[in-house]
Each structure stands twice: as structure tokens, then as C-alpha cells.
Amino acid sequence: MMRCRCKALPFFEKAYALLDPRAASLDINEKTTYRDVMTGMREIYSRQNQRSKVDELKVKLDALR
């Protein structure tokens, strides 16, 4: 199996770590960034077959809508 060697993941994870604790009080621009970060992470985790992380992010993304 080929592993995804994505260089962007650490940056997505850092942004997520900064935004997630404040998710309830984000302004519209921050919410857009938060959504984009989670979408990017979900795609990378999906390619890495990390199903539990994909499912966790899907739940959070669905809650934003």
C-alpha cells in the first residue's frame, strides 16, 4: 500500500489545533478557514486510510452546515 507523504498535513493540524477550541465563537472568515482546514485534513486522512479521523471530521463538518 502506498502511503501519502503529504507535506501540508502538519500545517492543517496546527491551524485546526488553534481554531477548534474556539469553534463556537469564530467569525465568518475564521469559520471558512476552519471548514477548509477540516476538509483538507479529511481528504489527506482518507488517502491514508485513517477512517476514524475521517469520520470524526465528517461529523464536525456536518455540524457546521
For the chain, the domains span 9-64
CB 34 within 8 A of CB 19: yes
Please state whether the predicted TM-score (pTM) of the whole model is above 0.85: yes
Is the per-residue pLDDT at 4 higher than 70? no
Residues 19 and 51: beta-carbon distance below 8 Å: no
pLDDT exceeds 50 at position 61: yes
Could you give the CA distance from residue 65 to residue 61 in angstroms, rounded to a whole number?
7
Say how many residues make up the chain.
65
Assigned C-alpha cell, 2: 502506498
pLDDT tens sequence across 5-54: 679 999 999 999 999 999 999 999 999 999 999 999 999 999 999 999 99
